[in-house]
Amino acid sequence: MGLETSVTKLVAVSSFVASSFFVASSFCSGANAKDLNMLVRLLVPAYIAHNFAAMCNAEKPTPDQQNRIKTISAFVDHVKIEVTTGLPEQEAEEVRISAADTARNVARNEMLFLGAQGPYVPTDTLIRWCERSAETAIAEILKTHEKRHEEFDRLTDEAKK
């Protein structure tokens, strides 16, 4: 199974993630559309991991949770650099924004799925989701990136051509 397939499978952790993940980038047009779209798709999982970690550790994070957030933030920075290095700044910004928007929509859909009332989800529901779904998704995103890093680099390089 290739990284692109793994990324697709990984992002399908919830009923809404798969459909949100493949949202077409409105900025992509012409010959570069497929390339930039691929870069967006490669960056989205890192942003999802970051958003899920932020949602699960928003209130009074323990020192262990703070360290986990720092680790995930460093991971996101690493992936952003890999995906956007060598792109013109405008394209790099468009890739980052589109990936962030997609990941934000995934997080919003998760909250709606959990029965959010406005910006709030019942605490017990959120804790259960974090323990049963979000932590698994975050761990899988980090593990997949590490295990398939060579393939990730190859796909990133191909998308930049």
* Residue 15 in domain: no
* Residue 24 in domain: no
Those residues whose C-beta lies under 8 Å from the C-beta of residue 72, and which sit 6 or more positions away, are 49, 50, 53, 138, 142
Task: Give this prediction's pTM.
Answer: 0.78
Q: Phi/psi at 50 (nearest 5 deg)?
A: -65, -45
pLDDT-based confidence at 37, cuts 50/70/90?
Answer: very high
* Residue 13 in domain: no
* Residue 42 in domain: yes
How many Cα atoms are found within 13 Å in the side-chain-facing hemisphere of 143?
A: 8
* Residue 93 in domain: yes
Average pLDDT value for residue range 74-94: 96
pLDDT-based confidence at 59, cuts 50/70/90?
Answer: confident
User: What's residue 94's pLDDT?
Assistant: 96
| Tally of domains in the chain | 1
Report pLDDT digits (tens) over 102-142: 999 999 999 888 886 666 788 888 889 999 999 999 999 99
* Residue 21 in domain: no
